[in-house]
């Protein structure tokens, strides 16, 4: 999913990050993919993946991560801590 997300145009990436429920689903999938596939993913990536998954707290964090991810996508072309 991370590769698919990174291959999309900036407009599609921004739209995916701006729609609240879609943003939460994208965050969960990409964060867990990073933790499970990347052996060098740090403890911070694991903590973020766990917190994002928890309903309530996860959705609140997704709003903050969504804004941060939106900025990172615009500047760097990838999500925060998802290189």
**Does 67 reside within a domain?**
yes
The Cα 23–Cα 43 span in angstroms is 22
Range of the domain at 29: 6-76
Tokens encoding 23: 């943003």
Give how far Cα 43 sits from Cα of 3, 49, 62, Å. Answer: 22, 10, 18
pTM, full prediction: 0.73
Percent of the residues in the chain that have a pLDDT greater than 90, as a whole number: 0
Q: Lowest-pLDDT range, 4-13, 23-32, 49-58?
A: 49-58
- pLDDT > 80? residue 36: yes
Sequence-separated (6 or more) residues with CB below 8 Å from residue 61: 48, 51, 52
**Does 81 reside within a domain?**
no
The Cα 24–Cα 44 span in angstroms is 18
**Does 1 reside within a domain?**
no
- pLDDT > 80? residue 63: no
**Does 56 reside within a domain?**
yes
| The total number of structural domains that make up the chain | 1
């Amino acid at each position: 999913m991370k590769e698919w997300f990174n291959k999309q145009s900036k407009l599609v990436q921004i739209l995916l990050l701006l729609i609240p429920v879609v943003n939460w689903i994208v965050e969960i999938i990409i964060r867990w993919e990073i933790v499970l596939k990347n052996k060098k993913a740090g403890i911070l990536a694991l903590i973020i993946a766990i917190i994002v998954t928890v309903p309530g707290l996860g959705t609140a964090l997704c709003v903050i991560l969504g804004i941060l991810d939106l900025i990172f996508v615009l500047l760097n072309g990838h999500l925060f801590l998802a290189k």
